[in-house]
Structure 1
Amino acid sequence: MKKIYTVLLFFICASASFAQVDAYSEDVKKCVKSNGTMSYYEDVMEQMYDMLKVQFTDENVPEAVWAEIKKGKQDAMDELAQMIVSAYRGHFTHEDVKNMNNLYASKAGKNMFKKDALTEGDKVVLNEFYKSDTGQKILGSQDSMNESMSKISEMWSSGVYRGVIAQLSEKGYNL
């Protein structure tokens, strides 16, 4: 009977643990959507597709093949998001991420990403945020986060590029 309770307790703890990890991941994904990171990388992917079309011009790759290749975009974006979650996990607590999401959902947070849109009130809100523990973590980890994001960007983009080249090669289109 003790074994059954032990196993049951293990599964309950494991489930709670996974739920927390999942909630953290979802909140980071929300954060990087709000702050424009994911939009930036979606543009990067589109530019890569355009560049590849130019590189493969002599191969006369049909539009249907390009459309099929572009179906992999969402998987690539999901992979990137998970890589970014890993970087955030090394720098910020779940509470920090929630605080960031609260900021990004506010008027001041939305305006901070628009050129010349910050009001004096927005500036006060942002100054207060950056004086908070979370704000101080953001400021203190900028170099480390930039380095992490640079590595992630390089690994991810080269992986996506190699994957598309491999797909085209499998279909008989080569540089």
Structure 2
Amino acid sequence: MKKLLFALIFLSSLHFNAQESSHRADVLRYLTMNGTANQYSAAIDQLFELLGKQYQEHNISDEVWGELKKESTPELNKILNMLVSAYRGIYEHEDIKNMIAFYETSTGKQLLADKTALTSEQQKEASVFYNSPTGQKILTSEQQIAHRVGEVSEIWSRDLYRNLVDKLAEKGYVMQQ
């Protein structure tokens, strides 16, 4: 009996972990398809431009910058994983699936690319989506998700900046006051 109970607990934990992994993967997919991943990748590039200006007098070699830029991918993954937590705190897995399904349509893609160019038919399709339970949740949680994303972004960007400045200092480059 104990073995059966243990087996049931073990199998249910595997099922739960699989569901959690699927939810996480879907949020990451959504963040990629809606342009969030590209925005943070661009933010990393802009941070390197800022650091290049701040350390301009040091004539830091391309090799050193290249070494630091190797951290871009792990940092991008870090912020996306932080955002997964923010999104999962607001949107159920079913909501994320519905969002993915909508944004994979031509209407969803056009909405992301340029909402001012939506055809009248696409406007109707968008209206149907935003009147659905998931669409309503998106609309009613806009401020909440923006607040959470803002907090996460601030923490991440501050830590990334500090980390890069510390690595430059370790290499002997100290920012001029």
TM-score, length basis structure 1 = 0.94
Q: Which residue of 2 aligns with 1:38?
A: 37
Secondary structure of 1:91's aligned partner: coil
Identity of aligned residues (%): 34
2-structure distance, mates of 1:20, 1:44:
31
Task: Give the match for residue 149 of structure 1.
Answer: 149
- Give the letter aligned to residue 12 of structure 2: C
Structure 1, unpaired ranges of 5+:
none
CA distance in 2, matches of 1:4, 1:167: 52
- How many residue pairs match? The answer is 174
For residue 93 of structure 1, what is the aligned residue in structure 2? Answer: 92
Distance 1:75 1:63 in 2: 20
Q: How far apart in 1 are the matches of 2:35 and 2:94?
A: 20
Q: Which residue of 2 aligns with 1:170?
A: 170
Structure 2 stretches lacking a partner, 5+ long: none
Q: Say which SS state the counterpart of residue 114 (structure 1) adopts.
A: helix
Provide the alpha-carbon RMSD of the alignment.
Answer: 1.2
SS at 1:80's partner residue? helix
How far did residue 7 of structure 1 move? 3.1
Displacement of 1:23: 0.6
TM-score (norm 2): 0.93
Q: Classify the secondary structure of the residue corresponding to 1:112.
A: helix
Q: 1:5 to 1:166 in 2, by over 3 A?
A: farther
Q: Which amino acid aligns with 1:71?
A: K
Instruction: Specify the SS of the correspondent of 2:14.
Output: helix
Distance in 2 separating the partners of 1:41 and 1:56: 22
